[in-house]
Amino acid sequence: MNGILLQLFQDTLVVLIAPLLLGWVNQCRAWLQNRSGPGVLRPYLNMVKLFHKDAVLAHNASPMFRFHPYILFACMWLAASLVPVIATDLPLSPAVDVIALVGIFALARVFVSLAAMDIGTSFGTLGARREMLVGFLAEPALLMVFFTAAAISHSTSLTTIVETLAHKQFIIHPSLAFAAVAFIMVLLAENARIPVDNPSTHLELTMIHEAMILEYSARHLALIEWASALKLLAFTTIGFALFMPWGIAEAGNWGALPLALAALFIKLTVAGAGLALLETISAKMRIFRVPEFMGTAFLLAVLGLLVHFLHGN
């Protein structure tokens, strides 16, 4: 019963704070560029505005096009609620391990690309193709990162990984250093951040994510924006679970929950600022450099696994 309550609390929490994280990253980026910035609450206001508008659909849009925002939102919400964000005692999490989690992201990607090609505009098709290019390279890298953590904790379940890394004896795992670098590269690519894609651009030939959602308006667009915020939050919390799981409450330990919540907010604040810094100091890559970038991420993750087996623990 307690577990279900906790699961419900976490689901509500992630869906509510996801736009806040996005707003915080944007605000930090604005500060770093010497602008005053739109404020951390901007994504919420944007979504309220979009929900009040009337949706416009193309004449030749199929039902797929209409359903896609809901599917995407559901996928991302599910992904974010499966990650142990504040506690490891989640009833939903035994159902899905890290490999299935990658599968959920892949499912969302398939629908995004199909919906982008549905209308038949050239921008949508272009964006979908690029998304598939980035996605098929990012996925194996993400899997290898997960395998490194799984090899350490002898389990592919995220909750077990967190419990092994955070609550057992403190051991430094050099292999996780490689995995962390690879994971950050995957995070940047999957969330359409700067070296791979620019989230704050419209109508440019280099865009990937924006090109796919050009045809959406009103509530559909709001849901898609919300889903991308959830995806960013899901990836950030996966990063916390793998590389700095300290503070996440153990199963049955209710007293640690307020502390876990505080730790989560501190980690999110730092990680958001770090992400903004990373985006500010790096330049957008040419699209044909992206395979190289993702290849490096994959090789680093493989190297992490190799180092793990070298030390043989």
Which residues would be at the binding site for other proteins (CB under 8 A)? Answer: 171-172, 174-175, 177-178, 181, 291-292, 295-296, 299-300, 302-303, 306-307, 309-312
> By C-alpha distance, which of 182, 145, 193, 13 is closest to 90?
13
Q: Are 253 and 2 within 8 A, CB to CB? A: no
Q: Where do we find the tokens 């430094």? A: 172
Contacts of 27 (CB under 8 A, 6+ apart): 37, 38, 39, 40
In the complex, minimum distance from the CB of residue 172 to other proteins, in angstroms, rounded to a whole number: 4
In the complex, minimum distance from the CB of residue 227 to other proteins, in angstroms, rounded to a whole number: 31
Alpha-carbon span 163 to 84, nearest angstrom = 10
Contacts of 136 (CB under 8 A, 6+ apart): none
Q: Where do we find the tokens 């505009």? A: 121
Whichever of 214 and 287 has its CB closer to other proteins, that residue is 287
Contacts of 262 (CB under 8 A, 6+ apart): 247
Contacts of 17 (CB under 8 A, 6+ apart): 233, 268
In the complex, minimum distance from the CB of residue 69 to other proteins, in angstroms, rounded to a whole number: 36
Whichever of 121 and 296 has its CB closer to other proteins, that residue is 296
Alpha-carbon span 149 to 240, nearest angstrom = 12
Q: Are 307 and 174 within 8 A, CB to CB? A: yes
In the complex, minimum distance from the CB of residue 306 to other proteins, in angstroms, rounded to a whole number: 6
Whichever of 276 and 305 has its CB closer to other proteins, that residue is 305
Whichever of 144 and 227 has its CB closer to other proteins, that residue is 144
Whichever of 103 and 195 has its CB closer to other proteins, that residue is 195
Whichever of 74 and 143 has its CB closer to other proteins, that residue is 143
